[in-house]
Structure formats: C-alpha cells, structure tokens
Chain A
Amino acid sequence: MRFGVVVFPGSNCDADVYHAIRDVMGEPVDYVWHKDTAADGYDCLVLPGGFSYGDYLRTGAIARFSPIMAAVAEHAAAGKPLIGICNGFQMLLEMGLLPGAMLRNDSLQFRCHFQHLRVENAGTMFTGRFAPGEVISVPIAHGEGNYYCDGATLAELAAHGQIVFRYCDADGNVTPDANPNGSLANIAGIVNRAGNVLGLMPHPERCADPLLGGAERADGARLFASLIDSWERGMAGGR
C-alpha cells in the first residue's frame, strides 16, 4: 500500500510518519511537496502534524490553499484514505473535508503527553484492529485541539458513527477531567460520512515504533495496520 506524506513549510511530524510507514509498517512511502499539483499513485495520503505557515491566521488556514490541496481533495473524493494528524486534522476542517473547527485549548496550555482514548467506532477502515470501546494510549501535542461544531453537526456525527476516538481516563470513562483541551463531547478523532477521511489530534506515528516506549505503547501501529488490512481486503480503495 503506497503512502504519500504531504510536506508543508512548518510541518514537523512528516519524518515521523514516514518512519512509521516505511520502517515499522514496511510499506512504500514518499514525501509529497506542498507545491506539487499531483498526488497520483498513492493509496493513502497523510497530512502530518506541525505548524504549517506558523499557524498564521488560523491553524491550517493557509495550508488549505497550497497547490497540492486540489489533488488531496480529489484523492478524498475518489474514496481513497486520507489521514490528517493534529495540524493535518486542522487542515481537513479548514478544507471542509471534515465538519467543525478547532478552538484554542480551554486551558490555554499546550498539552503534550500520552493520552487515553476510547475507540468509539472499530468498524472504520482505520480501526479494525481495535475492539469496540477499547482504551488505547496515544500521545497528544497541541495548543489548538478544542474541537467545536454546532449541535446539529454533532448529532449527525454521532448518528453516523463518525466519532472514532474520544478522550477518556485509564478506565475508559469519557469525563470532563479526562478531556485535555475542552473538545466538544471529548472528541479526539472523526471520519467523514463516507468513512475514508480521518482527522485526529493524537499522534499515532509517535507510538508506532516499539523501540519508542515498548510494544505495549504501539497503539499507533495498530491504526496503520488496520488501514493496510482494509486496503488488502479491498475496503479502502483496494489493490
């Protein structure tokens, strides 16, 4: 399964994603430059974390109009997997590929730590290797991850199983205390209605390599492995 990692000025997790895909998952991966206008031949595109364009104006707002983004939107429209991680999630919201917007963390703090997540939908092409309701641990690192949308949108997300991950405590309780940024309904990650576009604030690429924190903290690798499973079964665009 061939991956493309889009690199923007200010991206700083592109190399981590590249490493996770190539060295941990053993799949082919290329960097895709933000000034390119084509992203053909990739089975999955990843918009990595970082601070594209210095987070000027709003997070992801400038990156959204990069030359590559028309090709990214076409990729998504064709039903192929597209993952936005952290700043990449913010871009997907700005692009309108996912509903909602990000606000400053309610604590005003930049939160950087391992975070428990509850897998709310294990039936997506990204989550097949997780059990429904399973509690996993994935690092977060952001100052603007406070997900917001209006009530009607939230109801739509819930009704169609689009809420994939929620912030929770170690026992899987989704509580205000377990919410690191004030996100509506403790939302950590969502998919689009079609299910092929995933945006999440936590960083799966940072807990994919067992060398970094031990095998029990390789929950990020399971996300990528789930996607590769789906692709091999023809569920994510297919061979």
Chain B
Amino acid sequence: MFRTEIKVMLKAGVLDPQGVAVQGSLLTLGYGNVGAVRVGKLIQLELDAPDQAGAERQVDEMCRRLLANPVIESYTFTVTAADGSCTAARASAADGAPAVRPEVEG
C-alpha cells in the first residue's frame, strides 16, 4: 500500500482569480507585506501497487488524464510506502510544455 499526495497548481503565468482575491483580503487585514498568492489543490489517495515505481507511474498517469488539466495546471506528487520505507517525489513537465489533452478512451 502506498500513500500519495498530489499538489495541483495553476501554471505560472495563468491568472489565479482566487489567489488575487485572497491576496486582496490579506492586505485589507493589514498584512501589507503579502506578495503574490496562489491557490491550488491537494489530493491525497491510497494506492495498492506492486512496487514504488509502478505506483509512481500510475499516479503520474492519473494526473495527466484526470487530476490536472495540462492546459492550465501543473502538478507535483509524492508517493510513500505505507511502512514509510520509501518516498519519492515527481513533478509534471515544465510550464510551457505542449498543452495537449489525451483523447477520450472508451
């Protein structure tokens, strides 16, 4: 069993209206030292996989097919064995990579 944490953020350069609103609110509260704010998503999932590499491969595929939209979002994730024996982190292709969505599969 593996535990995964996937972080999905809007790509750099893509306007984040939520982040802008939160920034404005923090400034209103008097936190005048706040700079840019970005709001993203954190997804945790448990995964049954034969080994670490297989788990990572599958999570990466899930990110590309469903959990993130490569047109506007990038993702990073960590995969940790349930017994804590092994942890690995991976990230999506750099911003600016071709934004192509995979075709629908039956």
**Chain A interfacial positions (CB closer than 8 Å to B):** 57-58, 61, 64-65, 69-70, 72-73, 93-96, 99-101, 103-108, 146, 148-150, 153, 182
Are A100 and B71 neighbours in the complex by a CB distance under 8 Å? yes
Given A103-B15, A148-B14, verify A64-B104 contact (CB < 8 Å): yes
B47 CB within 8 Å of chain A:
no
Interface centre among A148, A149, A153 (most CB of B within 10 A): A148
Compute how far the CA of A103 lies from the CA of B72 in the bound complex, rounded to whole angstroms. 8
Are B104 and A101 neighbours in the complex by a CB distance under 8 Å? no
Interface centre among B10, B21, B104 (most CB of A within 10 A): B104
Contacts of A72 in B (CB 8 A): 104
Are A103 and B102 neighbours in the complex by a CB distance under 8 Å? no
B103 CB within 8 Å of chain A:
yes
Compute how far the CA of A150 lies from the CA of B72 in the bound complex, rounded to whole angstroms. 9
B86 CB within 8 Å of chain A:
no
Compute how far the CA of A238 lies from the CA of B100 in the bound complex, rounded to whole angstroms. 31
List 6 A–B pairs whose Cβ atoms lie within 8 Å, in order of A's numbering.
Answer: A65-B104, A95-B104, A101-B72, A103-B15, A103-B72, A104-B17
Given A70-B106, A101-B72, A149-B71, verify A94-B101 contact (CB < 8 Å): yes
Could you tell me the distance in whole angstroms from the C-beta of A70 to the nearest C-beta in chain B?
4
